[in-house]
Structure 1
Amino acid sequence: MRFVLAALIGLAGFGSARAQDAAPYDSLADWGAALFFDADLSAARTQSCATCHDPARGFSDPRPGAVSLGDDGESRGARNAPALGYAKFAPPFHRDETGAYIGGQFHDGRARDLAAQAIGPMMNPVEMALSGPEQVAQRVLEKPRYRASLAVLGGADPSDPEAVAALTAKAIAAFESEPQFSSFDSKYDRFLRGEAELSDQEELGRLLFFSQQFTSCNACHQLRETPGAANETFTNYAYHNIGVPANPDLLRAGQAPDRGLLDNPEISDPALAGKFKVPSLRNVALTGPYMHNGVFSDLRTVLLFYNSFNSNRAERQINPETGQPFGPPETPGTLSRAELERGPALNDQRIAALEAFLRSLTDQRYEGLLSE
């Protein structure tokens, strides 16, 4: 009798688990979390959103290489995967009152918002490599809990692949808008709230960063009107050509020179070639390699590169990662010289101070990684 009762309890538990498998998620964000980590949403079922946007590494790609490895284990994209932390604050791609392009997702703003960003890699042939909305829908409909969530959380018709794919993207975007992606609890944030003190070096870096006399950092990397305002994203979401050299490794692999904003399907003006969206500096100490093409591995190298525009000294033109002069701009004719050639050259002490300040922008949960 006890055996029969135990068996019945076991069957009841099994039935409960099966019911849970078919129950809809409580919210779009909860469903989006499952989708974000689901490798079945790539052609070979080897890669999820989290593969290139690892939550343990500031939602960036921790794997070796200047650009991310694709689902097939061989293909590589043309650009460094942008970190997804704080991405929700980027405004939709648009032109501002001066006519300048602002916002969007990806390095060239081709995705208007987070939902468009979420679906793009799934159907990119060198990334997750699904063939189109039909295959996205097919993979989503494989899971009973996903099927149940379609109707309850968005009213998507399972027979409409476009609607299924759109709701899938919307759910991932909802997850990417959760507080864990943008905690605003770095040492710098705690300093602003009176909960932490910056070191002397970090404080010097802070003063330099926001200075109108010594650097031009905040000309592009400040959104709030007042320096030191709370919840600063450290980007104005504008587009600039800062003279980044081509990545020799990508050229050797057959990559054509990157045209930046001009590769956005909405853009046709050659004067915008080579311009890329200003990235957030949140968690920047952890999210290398740097620049759209991953040409620099070290954060200090990035600062030295910027400094090279304001120094005539030969040694200040050297890339410490190669021992050779910084290469010429990948796109030479459209540089934002007014922003680049602003302020005096900085000595090593001030370069180190700026780096220390940038490291203070690391979310609290990642601070242990700074000593690696």
Structure 2
Amino acid sequence: MGEALFSDVNLSGNRTQACSTCHNPDRAFIDDRLDAFGEIGAVSMGDDGISLGDRNTPSAAYAAFSPDFFEGTRDRLNSDAGQYQGFMGGQFLDGREADLKGQAGGPPLNPIEMNMPDKASVVARIQENEDYVEAFESLYSETVFDDVDAAYEAMTESIAKFEKTEGFASFDSDYDRHIKGEYDEYILTKAGLGKALFFSQEFTNCATCHQLQPNSHPQETFSSYEYHNIGVPENTAVRAVNNTAEGFIDNGLLDNPATADTSHQGKFKVPTLRNVAVTEPYMHNGVFRDLKTVILFYDQFNNEDRSLNPETGAAWTEAEVPETINHSELAAPALTDEEVEALVCFLRSLTDARYKHLIEEKGIRCE
């Protein structure tokens, strides 16, 4: 049921957009529609064919592993940064929905996404399909459609159950083969060197925010699900075309109803690195197109030789919210060019087997 609903365009205002439109199963569950420049769009267009979002659509792959939104503490692994205290988990980039079920209920009613006027309209569309009616009444109750809220919740629960299936989280990348002992040569590749750097406390701080489980855990998602401001600049190209008001600031975590302290402004949830090599563009607003650029962006905080953004040829632009940048946890030794390439290769090795053919070399050979 959830799979059918996930792919059903009839649940949008103009019957043009489904969950799978912005979370394409063939492209690691991202929105791979092309923009006017023939590149994967930084933000998604809505069902009305006009509206554009302001945040990059996150991959739905491995989303089921994000814990329900909570505030607490976490001991880091392979990190000198110490214990984290703050908000973690949830769905969406600001965690405003606690779980997958809550997330599934958002887009149908969002005017710049699937653009349905209310829950009753969505339920009416569901009832147009006799197979849905039969399944809902069988799976939930014969009276499920007597209560709009109950029927809508049944829809979101079904979609959430689908998102918890193996198709969203296969754990079968080259890295996974390596930790299972099925790819002994891995340790001698550039990816193997990148792995050593990634988990090192001496040479990088990657694991501070991108390691949740003990080393070689079979279900490492490479996200702590913490919230941080890492100094990402405004995506001015997007803001020029999506009718954002001048002076607008994306508050990130501060827009979550559970938060009120301005120290949370500009913080976003740490994303999973699973399939990151095929889920461009990057950062919460899609401001960077190349995975190597992302690593160079991190390195520029510690390396005076990284003063230019390679995608623009100009200096890195100022953070959208400079006041809350987490400089202490961005601090790390400068990287060499070889180390940057090794880290890119390691990140490529986190690609699920079904998506390996989508990896583009972009000047870096890992074999």
TM-score, normalised to structure 1, is 0.89
**Residue number in structure 1 paired with 2:37:** none
Q: Secondary structure at the match of 1:311?
A: coil
Q: Does 1:293 align with 2:282?
A: no
Give the counterpart letter for 1:207 in structure 2: A
Q: Choose which of 150, 153, 156 in structure 2 pairs with 1:169.
A: 156
Q: Does 1:264 align with 2:240?
A: no
Q: Does 1:281 align with 2:273?
A: yes
Q: Choose which of 316, 319, 340 in structure 2 pairs with 1:329.
A: 319
**Residue number in structure 1 paired with 2:78:** none
Encode CA deviations 1:137-176: one digit per residue, 9 max, x unaligned: 1111111111112221122621211111111010000000
Mapping 1:201-280, distance limit 5 Å: 201-224=190-213, 226-253=214-241, 254-255=243-244, 256-280=248-272
Cα separation, 1, equivalents of 2:360 and 2:320 = 33
**Residue number in structure 2 paired with 1:129:** 115
Q: Secondary structure at the match of 2:144?
A: coil
Give the counterpart letter for 1:245 in structure 2: P
Q: Choose which of 296, 301, 306 in structure 2 pairs with 1:304.
A: 296
Encode CA deviations 1:81-119: one digit per residue, 9 max, x unaligned: 010100001000010147510100000001110011111
**Residue number in structure 2 paired with 1:90:** 66
Cα separation, 1, equivalents of 2:33 and 2:294 = 20
Cα separation, 2, equivalents of 1:161 and 1:99 = 39
The verdict on how the C-alpha distance between 1:202 and 1:263 changes in structure 2, with shifts beyond 3 A counting, is: same
Mapping 1:95-114, distance limit 5 Å: 95-97=71-73, 99-114=85-100
Give the counterpart letter for 2:195 in structure 1: R
- How many angstroms does 1:251 deviate by? 2.7
**Residue number in structure 1 paired with 2:177:** 190
Cα separation, 1, equivalents of 2:272 and 2:138 = 35
Cα separation, 2, equivalents of 1:275 and 1:184 = 28
**Residue number in structure 1 paired with 2:4:** 34
Conservation of the 8 A alpha-carbon contact between 1:95 and 1:102: yes
Give the counterpart letter for 2:53 in structure 1: G
Cα separation, 2, equivalents of 1:367 and 1:200 = 17
Corresponding residue pairs, total: 338
**Residue number in structure 2 paired with 1:58:** 28
Give the counterpart letter for 2:348 in structure 1: R
CA RMSD of aligned residues (A): 1.2
- How many angstroms does 1:228 deviate by? 2.4
Q: Secondary structure at the match of 1:319?
A: coil
Conservation of the 8 A alpha-carbon contact between 1:305 and 1:317: no
Cα separation, 1, equivalents of 2:85 and 2:174 = 36
Give the counterpart letter for 1:160 in structure 2: D
Cα separation, 2, equivalents of 1:72 and 1:180 = 29
Task: Name which of structure 1's ranges 47-56 and 150-159 shifts more when overlaid on structure 2.
Answer: 150-159
Give the counterpart letter for 2:155 in structure 1: T
Cα separation, 1, equivalents of 2:309 and 2:318 = 12
Q: Does 1:344 align with 2:333?
A: yes
Cα separation, 1, equivalents of 2:360 and 2:311 = 20
* Matched-pair identity in %: 49
- How many angstroms does 1:51 deviate by? 0.6
Higher percent of residues as helix: 1
Q: Choose which of 303, 310, 319 in structure 1 pairs with 2:309.
A: 319
Conservation of the 8 A alpha-carbon contact between 2:54 and 2:239: no
- How many angstroms does 1:73 deviate by? 1.3
Cα separation, 2, equivalents of 1:99 and 1:152 = 44
Conservation of the 8 A alpha-carbon contact between 2:47 and 2:115: yes
Give the counterpart letter for 1:191 in structure 2: H
Q: Secondary structure at the match of 1:309?
A: coil
**Residue number in structure 2 paired with 1:12:** none
Cα separation, 1, equivalents of 2:168 and 2:29 = 8
Cα separation, 2, equivalents of 1:48 and 1:348 = 42
- How many angstroms does 1:227 deviate by? 2.2
- How many angstroms does 1:371 deviate by? 4.3
Q: Choose which of 147, 163, 168 in structure 2 pairs with 1:181.
A: 168
Note the residue ranges of structure 1 that are not aligned, 5 or more in a row: 1-30
Give the counterpart letter for 1:70 in structure 2: G
Note the residue ranges of structure 2 that are not aligned, 5 or more in a row: 35-40, 74-83, 362-367
- How many angstroms does 1:219 deviate by? 0.2
Q: Secondary structure at the match of 2:197?
A: helix
Cα separation, 2, equivalents of 1:286 and 1:137 = 35
For the pair shown, the structure with the greater C-alpha radius of gyration is: 1
